[in-house]
Structure 1
Amino acid sequence: MTNKPNILIIYTGGTIGMVKDYKTNALKAFDFSEIVQNIPELQQLNCNIKSISFKEPIDSSNMNTQYYIDIVEIIESNYTKFDGFVILTGSDTMSYISSAVSFMLENLQKPIIFTGSQLPIGDIRTDAKENLITSIAIASVRKQHQPLIKEVCLYFEYKLYRANRTTKISAEHFEAFASMNYPALAESGVHLKFNEALLFKPTEKDKPLIVRKNLISDVVILKLFPGITKATVEAILSIQNLKGVILESYGSGNAPNETWFIDLLKKAIAKEIKVVNVTQCSGGSVILGHYDTSVKLKKIGVISGLDITTESAVAKLMYLLNEDLSLEMFKYHFQKSLRGEITKK
């Protein structure tokens, strides 16, 4: 009988799963079913490792909500058999995917660690091995016979982050992700150091896992820029079946206060399209009404996204739109911290 935690690796695709065929110099998919044989260092970890791979590896640029559902269904069907999950995806859309998974899984009591790499696992200078090994080690950590981590996280280049707080900041540095509005949950050095005070603590300890698979993808990101035209905004807000808009505004939530712009948003809100205001800045928070240029937005019913990331706002919007909430209740739930994605005021 063993008390070693059982960890499931779910490979969806991405750079991390590529190895070089030295005969052809081409990259080919890594066989994760033989991962322990190929990465013998894993044998030193105090856990049992299994793996599942998507039949067809998905480039992260092709990710969509159906693949999100595929991921959570694998977790759902294996939830009682495993003590933790490590999900490998392409890094380009990892913040979007992991944020969505955090909302899709309610009453989560086990670690789900997303990771990937900037270089393939078979590359001589790869960051893949460290990211993978440490992610598995983190998913294995227990305290008083319980998993220490009970949330969806993202691990990259020596830092563990709450997934729904992250943004990819570099296409070429190994330190590819940042969490501007929430500190790292752990850092990997000679020792793994956890900041336990920052970890998400589920309030419902005995409730079963609930998997939310219905996401509304009729949403759009409207990024403001100086010179944006009425025709552009009108075209975006007139998209057929549009249900939600992430308005990427300036600074602390500012936008043009010209009559045409406010009227177009007001008309959209009257059609029950939910409009959420997030900042274009990499850090900080939306404070509607702080400047004159956001007073009218607040007045017409634009919802402040506070300090949520764009990636997390998209995921939360898709999740909440399925709940068929009134504008007031939608605002209440959007501004409430459901999975630690927003700083409580």
Structure 2
Amino acid sequence: MTSKPNILIVYTGGTIGMVKDYKTNALRAFDFSRIIDKIPELAQLDCNIESISFKEPIDSSNMNVRYYVDILEIIETNYRKFDGFVVLTGSDTMAYTSSAISFMIENLQKPIIFTGSQLPIGDLRTDAKENLITSIEIAASQKGNAPIVSEVCLYFEYKLYRANRTTKISAEQFEAFASKNYPALAESGVHLNFNGHLLTKPTFSDKKLIIRKKLITDVVILKLFPGITAEVIEAILSIRNLKGVVLETYGAGNAPNKPWFLELVEKAIQSGIKVVNVTQCSGGSVILGHYDTSLGLKAIGVIGGIDITTESAIAKLMYLLNEDLDAATFKRYFQRSLRGEISEK
């Protein structure tokens, strides 16, 4: 007889962990150590559940790299003891957080499922219970004594996504996330159906888990818009100690082809700043050189981000900048799929 999987819930903060005090109508933090009492349906899952909570819950707007490391250290400390992890964070920055965690962990062989909710767990119409219950079920799902999922994922409103492919698309709908450039890894309906051919399959059972806790945060997202001025571009690219830029361009990677714009970007690149081109569109890919308005960017050394999301691009930039790579090697690794975050050419 096989033993039940052990699942660890890591609560960092966010709407999902709030319950209403009906006497005062105020929201207070949920006690996850009593989760089975509050959500008795969890007892039907064939797994053992434990929880760890941040001492002080973090609002998603206050999420930063230091808290990424806190999450990682909890997983690292408990990695051998547990078969899967469910990380609860605020949904507003969940795509950023989960993308970063995917790059900071190498040789992962167990599921790390991020989830949250649009309404507090104690609300009458909450989405929190379904998101939490199914995330735990996914984390505990095994086939042949091995986890079905062995990557960093994000579950929300009946769909499991590769975390570093996601973007939050709605502040009001329960279907808050989308993965425009990669299909859902699983869908929850009457049955929980995994799309096995889309899942990452670990081929390194003998390789040790590697945790990288250092990210370079001297980066910026520069979103272009019609009428943006040279003064704005120059001010941003002249930020002291700036090391990387995610340049959000139009369509398939297009930008102004005016000399002043290209000269400013080229000057930044020549000073050692890595500039990555991602599209402002919710889906699709950057194809540098496809239009005349992207030929100049390609010529001066801007790195085409292909179909990576902005959230994943900023995380990957922070990660690779710490590796001290030369320009050619940096470009090669950025355009290579490291954690399934990009569709290789």
- TM bucket, shorter chain: over 0.9
CA–CA distance in structure 2, aligned partners of residues 180 and 52 of structure 1: 33
Query: Aligned equivalents of 2:36 and 2:147: distance in 1?
Result: 22
Are positions 1:198 and 2:198 aligned together?
Answer: yes
Instruction: Give the total of aligned pairs.
Output: 345
- The residue that corresponds to 1:301 in the other structure is 301
- Supply the AA of the counterpart residue of 2:7: I
- Once the two structures are superposed, what CA deviation does each residue of 1:280-334 show, in whole Å capped at 9, x if it has no partner? 0000000000000000100110000000000000000000000000110000000
Name the amino acid aligned to 2:237.
Answer: L
| Residue of structure 1 equivalent to 2:71 | 71
Q: What is the deviation of 1:37?
A: 1.1
SS in 1 for 2:114: strand
Distance (whole Å) between structure 2 residues aligned to residue 183 and residue 263 of structure 1: 39
| Partners of 1:336 and 1:72 in 2: CA distance | 24
RMSD between aligned residues:
0.7
Partner of 1:95: 95
1:135 is aligned to 135
Q: Which residue of 2 aligns with 1:187?
A: 187
Q: Distance in 2 between matches of 1:344 and 1:260?
A: 32
Aligned to 1:159: 159
TM-superposed CA distance for 1:278, in Å, is: 0.1
Deviations 1:176-207 (A, max 9, x none): 00000000000000000000000012232210
Question: CA separation in 2, counterparts of 1:208 and 1:137?
Answer: 26
**Distance in 1 between the 2:267 and 2:313 partners?**
22
TM-score (norm 2): 0.99
Which amino acid letter does the alignment assign opposite residue 182 of structure 2?
Y
Matches of 1:107 and 1:120, distance apart in 2: 34
Rounded Cα–Cα distance in structure 1 between residues aligned with 2:202 and 2:344: 15
Q: What stretches of structure 2 of length at least 5 have no aligned partner? A: none
Give 1:2 shift: 6.1
Quote the residue 1:3 is aligned against. Answer: 3
Task: Give the Cα separation in 1 of the matches to 2:35 and 2:297.
Answer: 52
How many percent identity over aligned positions?
78
Q: Does 1:175 align with 2:163?
A: no
The whole-number CA distance in structure 2 between the counterparts of 1:201 and 1:302 is: 32
Q: Could you tell me which residue of structure 2 aligns to residue 107 of structure 1?
A: 107
Q: Can you list the C-alpha shifts for 1:135-187, whole angstroms capped at 9, x where unaligned?
A: 00000000111001010000000000000000000000000000000000000
Amino acid at match of 2:135: S
Letter of the aligned partner of 1:110 in structure 2? K
Question: Which residue is equivalent to 1:279?
Answer: 279
CA distance in 1, matches of 2:167, 2:299: 30
Query: Structure 1: which amino acid aligns with 2:45?
Result: L
Residue in structure 2 matched with residue 315 of structure 1 by the alignment: 315
Determine the structure 2 residue equivalent to 1:121. 121
Provide the rounded CA distance (Å) in 1 between the counterparts of 2:248 and 2:236: 13
Residue in 2 that maps onto 1:238: 238
Off by >3 Å, runs of 4+ in structure 1: none
| Structure 1 unaligned regions, length at least 5 | none
The superposition leaves residues 186-235 of structure 1 with CA deviations (integer Å, 9 ceiling, x where unpaired) of 00000000000000122322101000101000000000000000000000
* Residue 38 (structure 1) shift: 1.0
Q: Who is 2:56 aligned against?
A: 56
2:67 alignment partner, SS class: helix
* 1:28 alignment counterpart: 28
Secondary structure (helix, strand or coil) at the match of 2:135 reads helix
What is the distance in 1 between the residues matched to 2:7 and 2:302? 43
C-alpha distance in structure 1 between counterparts of 2:56 and 2:120, whole Å: 17
Structure 1 residues 213-228: aligned runs within 5 Å: 213-228=213-228
Residues in 1 aligned to 2:239 and 2:344: alpha-carbon distance in whole angstroms: 33
